[in-house]
Structure 1
Amino acid sequence: MTTIYETYTVESEGLTVSLLVWRRFRQPMFGMVERILEINYGLAEKGIFLPVGTQVMIPVDPPTERAVNALPAIQLWD
Structure 2
Amino acid sequence: MAAAKRLVAQQGDMLDLLIWREAGLGPSELTRVLNANPGLVDSGAVLPLGTVVIIPATADAVTTRVRPLIQLWD
TM-score by length of 2: 0.65
Determine the C-alpha separation between the residues in 2 that align with 1:41 and 1:3.
Answer: 21
Residue 8 of structure 1 corresponds to 7
Give matches, 1:18-33, under 5 Å: 18-23=16-21, 24-25=23-24, 28=26, 30=28, 32-33=29-30
Say whether the 8 Å CA contact 2:7–2:52 is kept in structure 1.
yes
Superposition CA RMSD, Å: 2.3
Identity of aligned residues (%): 30
TM-score by length of 1: 0.63
Structure 1: gaps of 5 or more residues: 65-78
Say whether the 8 Å CA contact 2:16–2:27 is kept in structure 1.
no
DSSP-derived class of the 1:34 partner: helix
Residue 37 of structure 2 corresponds to 40
Structure 1 residue ranges (4+ consecutive) displaced by more than 6 angstroms after TM superposition: none
DSSP-derived class of the 1:7 partner: strand
Structure 2: gaps of 5 or more residues: 63-74
Task: Call closer, same or farther: CA 1:49–1:29 in 2, change over 3 Å.
Answer: closer
